[in-house]
Amino acid sequence: MSLPFSDEKKIDLSDKPIFDEYFLLYPPEISEFTFSNLFMWRNYYDYRFLEWRDHLLIFSRTYLKKWKAPRTSNEVIFFLQPIGPFPELIMIEILKIGYSIEFHRISESILNSLIKKAENENISLEVIDDRNNWDYVYEKNDLVSLPGNKLRQKRRNLQKFLSSYDHRFNLLKEEIIEDCKQLQLEWCDANECQGNEDLQEEEKAIFNVFDNFKTLNVKGGALFIQNDCVAYTLGEKLNENTMVIHVEKAHANYEGSYQAINNYFIKNCCQSVNLINREQDLGIEGIRYAKESYKPHHMVKKYIILRRA
């Protein structure tokens, strides 16, 4: 038995209906599982996919080489959690085949079942806590109202922006795409992206979304002061009760601009959900501090699964 790698495909915009159908049938919990997110990073990580035994398999042969050293061998294949009715069974079957494989972004919801099934098959697993990729999830109303003493400074920052600047909020439309791109370029200059490959690749990924935003059906908005875009954000529905924020950028020169774009976006684009997933911190100290400072409602824990020799 082997995986039909001869059927694998690179992710293309035309594949969106395939992914959307799986995500509709099996609503995701982790932030990586939207077509837009996979599409925007498809070139950098060279994502591939195939359908096998009624499951969608998403993988990359280069992801770990670009992001961090593989834990097994240099030929290891990076797999995301299979999408379908029985992801644990599919993972066991793939591990039994014998490829050099690492499963990443495995949700806590299937972990115990996966371990039990592996024990039944006499497969020894190594389970690694992937803390750097846990998702931060917040109550929508808390992000809007910023209640309590712990969020007092963020309320002040928001009020400072609202009272200090003659501004307007616009939903993402084709007319303002170039303005958002210009802000992204300015943000990159200010944050010295030329010396940081990760930030350069992020900018390419963001432009992928802007260039295809109608087809991707993402939501977004931007803040303007006079005719200058000073903040923008991009997000989409992750599941019935959760919106995921993929990108949020703002001019540091305008105090409270991050709090303001977050506030306007949630009020205008997140009416049908109660939770906001703001993705992971990637182990970056400043991002972790910022995300923790908003007091998440809970974390979506993720794990790495390897087969022990």
Question: Do 249 and 270 belong to one domain?
Answer: yes
296 φ/ψ angles, rounded to the nearest 5 degrees: -60, 150
Write down the residue that tokens 């303007």 correspond to: 224
Q: Is residue 190 part of a domain?
A: yes
Question: Do 124 and 172 belong to one domain?
Answer: no
Question: What local confidence, expressed as pLDDT, does residue 98 receive?
Answer: 76
Alpha helices, H only, the chain: 16-25, 35-40, 42-45, 63-67, 87-97, 108-120, 140-145, 152-164, 177-190, 197-211, 213-216, 257-269, 285-293
Q: Which domain holds residue 95?
A: 5-134+303-307
Question: Do 117 and 173 belong to one domain?
Answer: no
Judged against a pLDDT cut of 80, whether residue 70 lies above it is answered with no
Indicate the number of domains in the chain: 2
Question: Do 163 and 272 belong to one domain?
Answer: yes
Question: Do 121 and 101 belong to one domain?
Answer: yes
Q: Is residue 37 part of a domain?
A: yes
Question: Do 143 and 257 belong to one domain?
Answer: yes
Question: What local confidence, expressed as pLDDT, does residue 93 receive?
Answer: 95
User: From CA 148, how far away is CA 131, in angstroms rounded?
Assistant: 27
Q: Is residue 291 part of a domain?
A: no
* Average pLDDT of the chain to the nearest whole number: 95
Question: Do 260 and 197 belong to one domain?
Answer: yes
Q: Is residue 298 part of a domain?
A: no
Question: Do 128 and 145 belong to one domain?
Answer: no
Question: Do 179 and 275 belong to one domain?
Answer: yes
Q: Is residue 230 part of a domain?
A: yes
Least trusted range by pLDDT, from 96-100, 218-222, 272-276: 96-100
Question: Do 265 and 152 belong to one domain?
Answer: yes
Cα→Cα distances 4→7, 14, 86, 298, Å: 6, 21, 19, 38
Q: Is residue 112 part of a domain?
A: yes
Question: What local confidence, expressed as pLDDT, does residue 305 receive?
Answer: 96
Q: Is residue 296 part of a domain?
A: no
Question: Do 170 and 55 belong to one domain?
Answer: no
Judged against a pLDDT cut of 70, whether residue 289 lies above it is answered with yes
Judged against a pLDDT cut of 80, whether residue 303 lies above it is answered with yes
Q: Is residue 287 part of a domain?
A: no
Question: What local confidence, expressed as pLDDT, does residue 75 receive?
Answer: 78
pLDDT per position as a tens digit, 106-132? 999 999 999 999 999 999 999 999 999
Give the SS3 label for residue 294. coil
Question: What local confidence, expressed as pLDDT, does residue 97 receive?
Answer: 87
Question: Do 152 and 66 belong to one domain?
Answer: no
Q: Taking the model in full, what pTM does it have?
A: 0.95
pLDDT per position as a tens digit, 202-246? 999 999 999 999 999 999 999 999 999 999 999 999 999 999 999
Most distant CA atoms of the chain, gap in Å: 66
Model confidence at 161, pLDDT cuts 50, 70, 90, reads: very high
Tell me what percent of the residues of the chain surpass a pLDDT of 90. 90
Q: What CATH number is given to the structural domain containing 74?
A: 3.40.630.30
